[in-house]
Amino acid sequence: MCIKKGCASVLTQPHVRFSVEQLRECHLQRGFLDIGYHFYITRDGVLHHCRPISEMGAHVRGFNRHSIGICYEGGLNEDGKPADTRTAAQRFALIDLLTILRHQYPEAQIAGHYQLSASIHKACPCFDPRKEYSEL
């Protein structure tokens, strides 16, 4: 699953499980100190706290210093193409987490990796967070 160097993304197909332990192993192999994201949400909707918000993440070059990284398990369809594969449990967990973070950081923007800069050529998170969470 550790495909691209320098990219924290771990997009996986619907039948592929990618546990928080696998994610940690993958990011350690890439030379990160721990999981690059602050939060990881598995298909079952469980929110895994991966590193404290007070620590800088390692998930998107140029934006790590002032961002909180959230990743969900999945992101590829059966053909291996980027797709919004979030389960209902993941959607609920995301709304819960973002609602809390929105209260803590009212000025923060909610954006997908691909929405941060024109020079970021990533498909993830395979949906439009700016639009979906504009009401939070």
Residues lying near Zn ion in the complex (CB under 5 A) are found at 9, 113, 124
- Give least dist CB 8 to Zn ion, A: 7
Provide the minimum distance between the beta carbon of 112 and Zn ion in the complex, in angstroms, as a whole number. Answer: 7
- Residue 3 beta carbon to Zn ion: minimum distance, rounded to whole angstroms: 13
Count of beta carbons in the 10 Å neighbourhood of residue 51: 19
Are 89 and 43 in contact, with CB atoms under 8 Å apart? yes
Place of tokens 């002032």: 66
Q: Given CA atoms 115, 119, 123, 124 in this order, what sign does their dihedral have?
A: negative
Contacts of 54 (CB under 8 A, 6+ apart): none
Percent helix, strand and coil across the chain, each to the nearest 5: 25, 10, 65
Q: Of 103 and 115, which has the nearer Cβ to Zn ion?
A: 115
Minimum Å distance from CB 66 to Zn ion? 16
* C-alpha span between 81 and 134 (Å, rounded): 26
